[in-house]
Amino acid sequence: MLRAPAFTACLARVFVTLLLVTPARAAEPLASLLPGEAMVERMLRAAKLGPTDYLIDLGTGDGRIVLAAARRFGARAHGIDADTTVVALNTQRAQSMGLAGRASFAKSDALEADLAKASVVVVSSPVASTAGAPASQLGPRLFALKPGSRVLALQAGLGEWAPDEVLSVDGRTAYLWVVPALANGMWQLRLGGPGSRRDDRLRITQRYQTVAGELLAGGDALPLTEATLRGDLITFAVSDRRGNVRRFFGHIQGNRISGTSLAAGGATRKWEAQRMAPR
């Protein structure tokens, strides 16, 4: 017969073994909603996840995305779940895999989670909140992340903010958003080289990652065509009266844009713009 201390130690070893061999049973009802291994890989590659990223997984379930991010992509990753048991099991799994320094888990409500340092946010659960709030309520907080941050979700419901990419693997679908910089407003544009005017104006309107506008130059209002905004990168083309097309590529940094432009003949010129009107 085992004595009390030995019996206790035996029970502890059995419990730890169960944690390592058996997936988190508390997360089993959610497991069918979470992405398979191939989809996890596809999602994280689409987000261009790397060692310099910090990923937060809201409604992490069995922690598969957090563990994959840390193990296969070398990123720091943090999983949030409303279930204390799930958090404890996932923490043990991370430790057993030698990932305790890069993968962590905590109990929290998704709507209260601190996302300020995240470069990638995953909304794993369709309802990632103890209050039962839909993922769409996270939209404004996600849109306020640093430009270029990536958002991944298993449903498209982030309000009116449409995804940048739709990912499909084995009949499952996931969605990717790239947080856009704030581009809207009136800008004073300067094109490097001869012929640049100080009074050129660039008017941009924006709705999430969709942008439009016009270049006001020399008394002409030239519409922007092929305008795109992905993270802090804005691109557009302008045709003058003679039909000459110049394409602009620039990075938005607060109230300043800087980049290069390309004429139809291949000549490049630098350009910059300063925001004149408030955002």
CATH of the domain at 205: 2.40.128.120
| 206 or 7, which is more confident | 206
Residue of 55, 74, 54, 61 lying closest to 23 (CA atoms): 61
> Are 74 and 204 members of one domain?
no
> Are 128 and 159 members of one domain?
yes
pTM (2 decimals)? Answer: 0.83
> Are 238 and 169 members of one domain?
no
Q: Has residue 101 got a pLDDT over 70?
A: yes
Instruction: Answer with the one of 135, 155, 178 that is the final residue of a domain.
Output: 178
Domain assignment present for residue 105? The answer is yes
Instruction: Answer with the one of 151, 178, 205 that is the final residue of a domain.
Output: 178
Over the stretch 103-144, which tens digit does the pLDDT of each residue have?
A: 999 999 888 899 999 999 999 875 444 444 456 678 889 999
Domain assignment present for residue 17? The answer is no
Domain assignment present for residue 13? The answer is no
Domain assignment present for residue 104? The answer is yes
User: For 245-270, b where at least 16 C-beta lie within 10 A, e where not — what string?
Assistant: ebbbebebeeeebebebeeeeeeebe
Instruction: Answer with the one of 138, 160, 178 that is the final residue of a domain.
Output: 178
- Whether residue 268 contacts residue 250, with contact meaning beta carbons closer than 8 Å, is answered with no
> Are 113 and 233 members of one domain?
no
Distance CA 261, CA 191 (A): 8
Structure tokens at 276: 């004149």
The CATH number of residue 28's host domain is 3.40.50.150
> Are 50 and 146 members of one domain?
yes
Computed from CA positions of residues 80, 86, 92, 94, in that sequence, does the dihedral angle turn out positive or negative? Answer: negative
Amino acid at 101: G
- Whether residue 234 contacts residue 247, with contact meaning beta carbons closer than 8 Å, is answered with no
> Are 157 and 198 members of one domain?
no
Domain assignment present for residue 4? The answer is no
Amino acid at 201: R
Over the stretch 43-91, which tens digit does the pLDDT of each residue have?
A: 999 999 999 999 999 999 999 999 999 999 999 999 999 999 999 999 9
Residue indicated by tokens 């419990």: 15
| Structural domain for 258, as ranges | 185-275
> Are 209 and 169 members of one domain?
no
Strands 165-169 and 172-178: antiparallel
Domain assignment present for residue 18? The answer is no
Strands 150-153 and 120-123: parallel
> Are 160 and 236 members of one domain?
no
In total, how many domains does the chain have?
Answer: 2
Domain assignment present for residue 5? The answer is no
> Are 87 and 133 members of one domain?
yes
Residues 6+ apart with CB under 8 A from 52: 75, 119
With a pLDDT cut of 90, the percent of the chain lying above it is: 68
Distance CA 223, CA 33 (A): 45
Distance CA 28, CA 30 (A): 5
Domain assignment present for residue 214? The answer is yes
- Whether residue 169 contacts residue 38, with contact meaning beta carbons closer than 8 Å, is answered with yes
